[in-house]
Amino acid sequence: MRPNLPVACMHCDDAPCVKAAKDGAVYKRDDGIVLIDPQKAKGRHEIIRSCPYEVIWWNEEKDVPQKCTLCAHLLDEGWDRPRCVQACPIGALRIIHGDDPEIKQMVISENLESLHPQYRTLPRVYYKNLFRFTRCFAAGSMAYKKDGTIDCAEGAEVVLYQNAEKVAQISTDHFGDFQFDNLDEDSGQYMIEVAYKGAKKNIKVELGKSINIGTIVLE
Ligand code: SF4
Ligand code: SF4
């Protein structure tokens, strides 16, 4: 996992923190927000340990566990979004107020993913393009040499093989760049076949972590 993946409370539907607190020191509201009751949770370190996402921290001064509240206090005042959603200059965050079928449909149509679904906590935070953090890529660039001039090879055909089987096929972009995403870490040897204007080349690649094989020049 890359270290800069943003992770806050997932406001899980089956939240281990709620179960661990037992007496309502952590609770889920009807709108889905999971909150910590600072009075009931005072001095209770076990609440921190209950979260598999490790997003509860300890407030030494107040002697309570704390976490993202989804800015419930602001939403209750009529705000339509939390502060981080409002503040993000590139619109990387969204809050969606919807019922379960709507959210389910959105997850499917936008190809959204949960982080660590194996925890089985039914998280309510979804990521787009999560594979860019959790999986590997094999990338490179293609150029074409003719009459002593080297140009980007836009629209070149690039095929990825493993064990002689085609895994994926893409075309290079305007800059001659290509990238195969969603590959398994340490998944072994691949062959990248590049073709442009009748010229071809095969490049062997050993995939441990993500790799950029640099520029391939055809002529
Ligand atoms: S992410 Fe952790 S703190 Fe948040 S609801 Fe789930 S278990 Fe509780
Ligand atoms: S700004 Fe609000 S919603 Fe965003 S991470 Fe902080 S508490 Fe959570």
Q: What pLDDT digit, counting tens, does each position of 16-34 carry? A: 999 999 899 999 999 999 9
- Whether ligand 2 lies within 6 angstroms of the CB of 84 is answered as yes
Q: How many angstroms is it from 73 CA to the middle of ligand 2?
A: 11
Which of 97, 76, 86, 213 lies closest to 158, judged by CA? 213
The alpha helices in 5-122, defined as continuous H runs, are 16-21, 46-50, 72-76, 83-87, 100-109
Q: How far apart are CA 189 and CA 138, in angstroms?
A: 11
Q: What is the pTM of this model?
A: 0.81
DSSP-derived letter for residue 85 is: H
pLDDT of residue 4: 84
Buried b or exposed e, range 75-95, using 16+ CB within 10 angstroms: beeeeebbeebeeeeeeeeee
- Whether ligand 1 lies within 6 angstroms of the CB of 56 is answered as yes
pLDDT of residue 3: 60
Residue stretches of the chain with pLDDT short of 50: none
Classify domain 16-119 at the CATH class level.
alpha beta
Residues of the chain with CATH 2.60.40.10: 135-218
Q: What share of the chain is helix, strand, coil (3-state, %, to 5)?
A: 15, 35, 50
CA angle 50, 82, 77 (to 5 degrees): 105
Residues of the chain with CATH 3.30.70.20: 16-119
pLDDT of residue 60: 97
Q: How far apart are CA 151 and CA 57, in angstroms?
A: 53
pLDDT of residue 2: 53
Task: Kindly compute the dihedral angle of the four CA atoms of residues 44, 45, 48, 52, in this order, to the nearest 10 degrees.
Answer: -110
Classify domain 135-218 at the CATH class level.
mainly beta
- Whether ligand 2 lies within 6 angstroms of the CB of 83 is answered as yes
Q: How far apart are CA 1 and CA 33, in angstroms?
A: 26
What the block records as the tokens of 211 is 């790799």
Round the average pLDDT of the chain to a whole number and report it: 95
- Whether ligand 2 lies within 6 angstroms of the CB of 68 is answered as yes
- Whether ligand 2 lies within 6 angstroms of the CB of 140 is answered as no
Report yes or no: 186 and 207 within 8 Å, Cβ to Cβ. yes
Q: How many angstroms is it from 66 CA to the middle of ligand 1?
A: 11
